[in-house]
Amino acid sequence: MAAEPAKYLYDMSEGSAQMRTILGGKGANLAEMKRLGIPVPDGFTVSTAACVDTMAAHGQWPAGLWEDVQDALARLEERTGRTLGGERPLLLSVRSGAVFSMPGMMDTILNLGIGDETVEALAAEADNARFAWDSYRRFLQMYGDVVEGVPPHAYEDELTALKARRGVDQDTDLTTEDLQELVATFKDVSRRELGRDLPIDPREQLRGAIDAVFRSWDTPRARVYRRANDIPDDLGTAVNVMQMVFGNRGETSATGVCFTRNPSTGAHELYGEFLVNAQGEDVVAGIRTPRPLAEMEEVLPEAYAQLVQTMRDLEAHYKDMQDIEFTVEDGTLYLLQTRNGKRTAAAALKVARDMVDEGVLTREEALQRVEPGQLDQLLHPAIDPDHGRTPVTKGLPASPGAAVGELVFDADTAAERGGAGEPVVLVRYETTPDDIHGVIVAQGVLTAHGGMTSHAAVVARGMGKPCVAGASAIRINTAEQTLTIGEHVYREGDLLTLDGSTGDVYGEALELVPPQINEDFQAIVGWADEVRRLGVRANADTGEDAAKARELGAEGIGLCRTEHMFMAADRLPAVRRMILAQDEDARAEALETILPMQQKDFEGIFAAMKGLPVTVRLLDPPLHEFLPNLVEQSLLVQRLELTGGDPQELESARELLGQVKRLHELNPMLGTRGCRLAMLYPEIPEMQARAIVRAALAVREREGETAGVEIMIPLVAYANELATQREVVERVVAEELEAAGEQLDVTVGTMIELPRAAIVADQIAAHADFFSFGTNDLTQTGIGISRDDAEGGFLSAYVSEDVIPANPFESIDRDGVGGLVGIGAERGRSVKPGLKLGVCGEHGGDPASIQLFEELGLDYVSCSPYRVPIARFSAARAVLKGERRADG
């Protein structure tokens, strides 16, 4: 069936709020107000379809569009009893209006239809020549600037010069004669800048103005805004053409903007500004200082009372805070626009909560009024939104929140100065587990390399610490201790501000505002808990993080990574002895040393999580991570050889170098990691299982209750790997429990983080009590992109050039990696219907990914502690979205 040809023109009376897609937000709301009997100036809307078809034809208007515009104009002339360019002149405003409000779009054109003759008619009709000439000069300026591209300062300079000549400050102090002179000057300016006159035929002007709105859809600033806000490029914008009403007609006229609630705080109070005897842009342009709305009651009492009532009506009708533009012409109120008001995160939460209390919204509706990103903002310190500064560079928004501190280049200095209470920002090419002590005390971390799942990013998110990663334009010279950004060289002690929520970096200290986990926040996340189906756990590796996670509402630990339990300075020597051991006895001795330390770590976590499940993942990283760097060790041996130092030292350095070489892998991420390591050295999982059981029993003994122990095997590809590891773990658990004469439920499951594991999930499930999808590695191996390298390179280009919709390490690749998760879940449950399924990759805290996990029917997501509230909230939104889809 052929689609109906798109309709290009709508009289205002034909539309409604439901017609946003075709009329744009502004057009739809104007039509809705007209329907409700609220006074709006009459007019018509050129639909988004007209813009889309014009863009598709490279700027050529589709056949019939101009005729449609002229017909709509004729109808408007008929209704108003006025004509464009006629003796009883009709003057028009032309405004863009996209489906989603977009600050990058074309500015408004007012007073279209005014010319050398109509200006006189207007003056006579209003009995006010000054008003008419003021309107004329404004039109010339707006049309020249907005439609023809004359630089606005060309007009402003002339206006300023004239005021100087007349010795006046305000535009309103200029006389009719001054304005007449200005009109002549503005015509000269346009001629000079364009090499021709502005068109004088008002119909041609109308066509030019509509066309300028279409073109403004594709300006670079509009495109940038759309990209930043995920607005599709092919929506197009509508154009609203309305009869002018004049706020500049004297002391009984005014124009203003208002919000039905305070958009900064959300407080239910009158909020707005107005200016007497002024036209729209005067209020925002800051030329004259607008007055608080409350004062309008004295100046224009009737219009004020009507405005206040209309504000109430509109808010009740839209069930949301409205942002309104109005004009009063000779005491009569007109509304020019209403839309849902933009608001700060804190205000969004307060308005949503208050509207539930007022009985305007249901809790479910309120949940849909808040964006996950707004909760995120409130969880962390943020840069004061009024800072007005420009960032010096940008990286990936790797861990949200803002940090201010003095620049330091190494973890030791960070640890020393940060430990002494000084605010420092740690700047590294990339971080490694060796830097942890510096990261812990730094206010924030900035890296030149690495992506959203790089070490720095994962660790910082876990700690709730701001991090900007992969800021590839910065140059770090560690020898000279300098950081170069563009031309500027920063040294240790210089101040930096990081915004981990946007990736922006500022070369100065900016004001921060503290986190705001207030009652509104708690209430809204609490409502989410009533709605959501998915469980929410946290990824935490220490008792402290676990306690934080619990405080933020985590229902367990979905991933306890145990690698840091091997990396800490007091353990590394024993870990190296274990790796380098020549025989089993030597290895057993080393592991014996590590065991009690691990047990202590587990006790901390189990105690913090008593009564809740804790999934402990056995050792995952490749062995070489515990050994010195190959290049550094080679250099050490060389130096010792050259200086002829202590032969024993040389000997052991050579031996270590040999081991490092033996264990060196070109692709360690695809090498001897995860359970592969445990298959080669079963003593490691044995030791870990022992430490886990002993810790669980010790906590129960001490506190009367312990955590639910779940042991997880990493990087399984073959069912046999899991079967073997399970045997090891079960044997040790049995031994430990028997020796202690105790009982303890321990379940054993696996990560699903390799494509093969997802495909053979039915075979693997036979040996698993649960699956946890490791979507970081599943993304790395499923798409075949290195999580350590790609984000600094082609991946950002792919995202900015729309080859892919988003960074797949941040938000799950729905079709590919998401498909693998779906296959794994389905095949796993095909042999074990009740198999518990979770996600513990970074996607567990990403709202869009959570939507997919809800659709796939997983049991829980697990994310860094500070994302837990967002995950709780997003899980509820996913349910509501599913219900909406099912309804309609």
Quote the least distance from Cβ 646 to ligand PEP, whole Å.
40
What does the chain come to in residues? 888
Quote the least distance from Cβ 820 to Mg ion, whole Å.
14
Give 113 or 774: the residue with its C-beta nearer to Mg ion: 774
Quote the least distance from Cβ 811 to ligand PEP, whole Å.
14
Cα 240 from Cα 781, distance rounded (Å): 51
Q: Where are the alpha helices (DSSP H) in 541-619?
A: 543-551, 564-567, 572-580, 584-608
User: Residue 370 binds what, of ligand PEP, Mg ion, none (CB under 5 to 8 Å, by partner type)?
Assistant: none
Q: Please count the other Cβ atoms lying within 10 Å of the Cβ belonging to residue 799.
A: 17
Single residue of 315, 504, 769, 777 touching Mg ion by CB under 5 A: 777
Cα 862 from Cα 838, distance rounded (Å): 7
Give 235 or 715: the residue with its C-beta nearer to ligand PEP: 715
The residue type of 478 is: T
User: Residue 840 binds what, of Mg ion, ligand PEP, none (CB under 5 to 8 Å, by partner type)?
Assistant: ligand PEP
- Measured from each CB, the residue nearest to Mg ion is 777
Q: Tell me how far the alpha carbon of residue 708 is from its chain's centroid.
A: 35
Quote the least distance from Cβ 561 to ligand PEP, whole Å.
5
Give 282 or 777: the residue with its C-beta nearer to ligand PEP: 777
Quote the least distance from Cβ 773 to ligand PEP, whole Å.
7
Cα 111 from Cα 135, distance rounded (Å): 6
User: Residue 451 binds what, of Mg ion, ligand PEP, none (CB under 5 to 8 Å, by partner type)?
Assistant: none
From the candidates 449, 455, 624, 843, give the one annotated as an active-site residue.
455
Quote the least distance from Cβ 349 to ligand PEP, whole Å.
31
Q: What track of x and - describes contact with Mg ion for positions 704 through 743 (by CB under 5 A)? A: ----------------------------------------
Give 98 or 751: the residue with its C-beta nearer to ligand PEP: 751
Cα 559 from Cα 860, distance rounded (Å): 12
Task: Mark whether 449 is an active-site residue.
Answer: no
Quote the least distance from Cβ 848 to Mg ion, whole Å.
21
- Give the dihedral of Cα atoms 589, 592, 597, 599; nearest 10 deg: 160
Q: Which residues contact 738 (CB under 8 A, 6 or more apart)?
A: none
Q: Are 366 and 524 a contacting pair, CB within 8 Å? A: yes
Quote the least distance from Cβ 817 to ligand PEP, whole Å.
10
Quote the least distance from Cβ 754 to ligand PEP, whole Å.
9
Half-sphere exposure of 114 (CA within 13 A, CB side): 26
Instruction: Kindly list the residues in this chain that would bind ligand PEP in the complex (CB under 6 A).
Output: 559, 561, 620, 753, 774-777, 840-841
Cα 647 from Cα 640, distance rounded (Å): 9
Cα 585 from Cα 660, distance rounded (Å): 21
Buried-exposed string 70-103: b where 16+ CB fall within 10 A, e elsewhere? eebbeebbeeeebbbbeeebbbbbbbbbbbebbe
Task: Mark whether 840 is an active-site residue.
Answer: yes
Give 113 or 828: the residue with its C-beta nearer to ligand PEP: 828
Give 308 or 823: the residue with its C-beta nearer to ligand PEP: 823
Cα 284 from Cα 288, distance rounded (Å): 9
Q: Which residues contact 130 (CB under 8 A, 6 or more apart)?
A: 175, 176, 179
Return the H-helix or E-strand segment holding 862.
strand 860-863
Contact between 541 and Mg ion by CB under 5 A: the answer reads no
Give 247 or 674: the residue with its C-beta nearer to Mg ion: 674
Burial of 798 (0-12, 13-18, 19+ CB in 10 A): middle
What SS3 class is residue 466? coil
Quote the least distance from Cβ 559 to Mg ion, whole Å.
9
Contact between 753 and Mg ion by CB under 5 A: the answer reads yes
What SS3 class is residue 329? strand
- The site that binds Mg ion (CB under 5 A) totals a number of residues, namely 3
Contact between 158 and Mg ion by CB under 5 A: the answer reads no
Quote the least distance from Cβ 560 to ligand PEP, whole Å.
11
Q: Are 430 and 410 a contacting pair, CB within 8 Å? A: no
User: Residue 561 binds what, of Mg ion, ligand PEP, none (CB under 5 to 8 Å, by partner type)?
Assistant: ligand PEP
Cα 623 from Cα 683, distance rounded (Å): 14
Contact between 842 and Mg ion by CB under 5 A: the answer reads no
From the candidates 380, 840, 843, 863, give the one annotated as an active-site residue.
840
Kindly give the interhelix angle for 817-831 and 847-855, rounded to the nearest 10 degrees. Answer: 30
Return the H-helix or E-strand segment holding 518.
none
Nearest to 752 by CA among 728, 730, 721: 721
Cα 543 from Cα 558, distance rounded (Å): 14
Contact between 774 and Mg ion by CB under 5 A: the answer reads yes
User: Residue 879 binds what, of Mg ion, ligand PEP, none (CB under 5 to 8 Å, by partner type)?
Assistant: none
Extract the tokens encoding 688. Answer: 């870990």
User: Residue 559 binds what, of Mg ion, ligand PEP, none (CB under 5 to 8 Å, by partner type)?
Assistant: ligand PEP
Cα 351 from Cα 357, distance rounded (Å): 10
Q: Using the 8-state DSSP alphabet, how is residue 246 labeled?
A: -
The residue type of 86 is: G
Give 171 or 710: the residue with its C-beta nearer to ligand PEP: 710
Q: Which residues contact 798 (CB under 8 A, 6 or more apart)?
A: 804
Binding site for Mg ion (CB under 5 A): 753, 774, 777
Which residues carry out catalysis? 455, 840
